[in-house]
Amino acid sequence: MTAPHPTSPIQLPAEDRVSSPHTGYTRAHWEAAADGLVRAAWQWATPGGALLDLPGRPSASGVRSDGLEGYARTFLAAAFRVAGADGKDPYGWLDRYADGLAAGTLTPGREDAESWPLIRDHTVFGQPMVESASVAIGLRLTRPWLWDRLDSGVQDRTEEWLRDALRHVPSPNNWYLFPYSVAGFLESVGRGDAETARAKQRALDLLEGWYRGDGWYADGDGRAFDHYNGWALHLYPVLDAHLSGDTELSARYGARLREHLQGFSLLFGGDGAPIHFGRSLTYRFAAASSVALGAISGHTPLTPGASRRLISGSLRYFLERGATGTDGLLNLGWHGPHEASLQNYSAPASPYWASKAFVSLLAPDGHPLWAATEEPAPSEGPDRVLALPAPGLLVQSTRADGIVRLHNHGSDHVRPHEGESGVPDEPLYSRQSYSTVTGPTSGANAADNHLAVVVAGARSGRRVIRALGAGGGYGWGWAASWHRPVFTSGSPMVPGLRVESVTVVHGRYELRVHRVLGAPDGARVEQTGWATGRDDALTSALHGLHGWESRDEVRAPQGTAYTPWAVVPRLSAPAEGTVVLVALASLTAQPDAEPLDAVVSGVTVDGDTVEVRWADGAATTRIGFAPMTVTHG
């Protein structure tokens, strides 16, 4: 497990271990963090303040778009900070952003030192549409102190630039909430019309189609369930309803946020880390934004003390582990810089979407979020297992080591129009399991937590994940899925080849059961476990129970977001036709963990049925593949 090493140059107040016994952080720490991050970024502003050209490699959208991103995302942090202080702006942030707004909107689209890029369709360097939402929300939050004091000409130019977000095509996912947010701002300042109404209704209509239950939205028409739920799909509509006072929308979308937080709040480890799963992880503590918004809007199952424990734990976790360099800028990565955590749209200022977590500052001094004494996070309570059938996820937390694990049997990143063989493996989606203390290996190295079919030397990937169900009870749970193995060399698919997978959690143990159907002559199967580093205080164990022939370890020299070098346990066996394979896996930081060969007392496989008897005598797990059934007791 990674240990904190305070490298951030941000100056924070003294800890308060009376009101915040778990983190020491108070509202003053959040204000100081916001000020420090904004101050560091403004060192790289253009003379007129319209663009913040942070150092680093450009994104696919180009340096001008990247500079707008620097302006917009830091403006969001400054806006939350000033709005939460009722207009008090001790560092004069709003004057700077007002100047930048005037300069950036003067001649949009020109190739000069200050002009903002135009907002166009998502297929034409569409990133400015993303940033328009942050600009709009920042202006909405600070209206009395910024917008209302602008020259009418600047207001008109700003409206015209923003309206392009309503007139162009977003990416077919959470992007529809960017014009939604722009429209909400324009309506809030008396500039709404049929165009703004259409943009808002279109986004809400799409949200209805993307809502799958259990408080989870798919990020588009596919099955991408990830952190975008919290920092986008819940954040924008609930914040809009909160700011506008729309009780009907607040009740509808707030109820979904409450249900989402029931499960999502368990996805933060005892050290404050959010689960390392899904794309855009360089946004880091933005993962806590939905927790904060739930506390502010009243749509949360958590007590104020538990909410503050989660958000402050996440902020502290990253500030203490190299999220900022000596220059005070948020860097591109997870702890420190980490290329494999990035996407091609990641720009030097991209990490500043972490600014969304500063929505917490909308709770003023004296609000229960800050006045209540910190309480333990959900993962710091008794060991928990939680099945989320709608997204096909299974959550497992153990109090003794503070680790949270997420077993993925329903979330992928394949869009409906993409063929399974037309997209590469996504390490941040395609693996069976993720945790708060480990990251997936890179696509260039051996895959961790993966069942591969090996045909003619080519290992299969897992693309479209088809959920088969999830459930459980006290202290145990299960989730199941199936997929068609896809190969990157030779024939992309083998006719009839299919893998059905079940994860059953019992205490800290993970029973991994697979049925491979249609394996060709000469094929092999491989199951890998958790990737850990040489010096980790973690133990990754993998033990074959049925069908496996040999065990070894493979190296991952590119490492993970947690360690520069990793090793992965692996089981292997020959496969032909239909085979059933059973293994036991474990990831723990407990130094005296029981070896896996003593955990299960017996396994019986009878056709399509698997029975596993646990050595503690507590239960017997029975799995049926045709149809899929799982019992435990």
List pLDDT tens digits, range 39-83.
Answer: 999 999 999 999 999 999 999 899 999 999 999 999 999 999 999
3-state secondary structure of 630: strand
Specify the pLDDT at position 206. 98
What's the whole-number mean pLDDT along residues 320-333? 95
- Comparing CA positions, the residue from 523, 499, 391, 392 lying closest to residue 450 is 499
83: Cβ–Cβ under 8 A, 6 or more apart, which residues?
141, 142, 361, 362
Write out the H or E segment, with its range, that includes residue 241: helix 235-244
What's the whole-number mean pLDDT along residues 307-311? 98
Helix axes 235-244, 127-141, angle to 10 degrees: 30
Q: Could you please report the per-residue DSSP string of 138-202?
A: HHHHTTTTTGGGS-HHHHHHHHHHHHHHHHSPPPSSGGGHHHHHHHHHHHHTT---HHHHHHHHH
Write out the H or E segment, with its range, that includes residue 236: helix 235-244
Structure tokens at 52: 């913040």
Structure tokens at 489: 């060399």
Specify the pLDDT at position 1. 62
Specify the pLDDT at position 488. 87
Domain ranges of the chain: 27-380, 384-632
- The full 3-state SS of 551-599, as one line of letters, equals EEEEEECCCCCCCCCEEEEEEEEEEEEEEEEEEEEEEECCCCCCCHHHC
**Beta-carbon neighbour count of residue 308 at 10 Å?**
33
d(Cα 263, Cα 454) in Å, to the nearest integer? 36
The label of the residue with tokens 């474990």 reads 586
Does the CA dihedral 302-386-508-225 come out positive or negative? negative
Tell me how many degrees the CA angle 595-596-602 measures, rounded to the nearest 5. 130
Burial of 202 (0-12, 13-18, 19+ CB in 10 A): middle
The CATH number that domain 384-632 falls under is 2.70.98.70
557-575 pLDDT per residue, tens: 999 999 999 999 999 999 9
What's the whole-number mean pLDDT along residues 106-111? 96
The answer on pLDDT for 597 being more than 60 is yes
Size of the chain, expressed as the number of residues it contains: 633
**Beta-carbon neighbour count of residue 372 at 10 Å?**
18
d(Cα 75, Cα 158) in Å, to the nearest integer? 15
Specify the pLDDT at position 473. 87
The answer on pLDDT for 138 being more than 60 is yes
Specify the pLDDT at position 592. 83
3: Cβ–Cβ under 8 A, 6 or more apart, which residues?
none
Q: Per-residue confidence at 195, pLDDT binned at 50, 70, 90?
A: very high
The label of the residue with tokens 């070896």 reads 595
pTM over 0.85: yes
Mean predicted lDDT score pLDDT of the chain = 96
Q: Which phi and psi (to 5°) does residue 330 adopt? A: -65, 130
d(Cα 102, Cα 115) in Å, to the nearest integer? 10
Specify the pLDDT at position 51. 98
Write out the H or E segment, with its range, that includes residue 76: helix 63-84
d(Cα 550, Cα 569) in Å, to the nearest integer? 11
Tell me whether domains 27-380 and 384-632 share a fold.
no
CB 394, CB 385: distance < 8 Å: yes
d(Cα 318, Cα 609) in Å, to the nearest integer? 45
Specify the pLDDT at position 308. 98
Structure tokens at 120: 């166009």
The CATH number that domain 27-380 falls under is 1.50.10.20
The answer on pLDDT for 628 being more than 70 is yes
Q: Annotate 102-123 with b (16+ C-beta within 10 A) or e (fewer).
A: bbbbbebeeeeebbbbebbebe
Q: Per-residue confidence at 420, pLDDT binned at 50, 70, 90?
A: confident
Alpha helices in 320-410 (DSSP H): 368-371
The answer on pLDDT for 489 being more than 90 is no
339-367 pLDDT per residue, tens: 888 888 999 999 999 999 999 999 999 99
The answer on pLDDT for 282 being more than 90 is yes
Q: Per-residue confidence at 618, pLDDT binned at 50, 70, 90?
A: confident
The answer on pLDDT for 411 being more than 80 is yes
- Comparing CA positions, the residue from 410, 529, 397 lying closest to residue 475 is 397
How many percent of the chain have pLDDT more than 70? 99
The answer on pLDDT for 5 being more than 60 is no
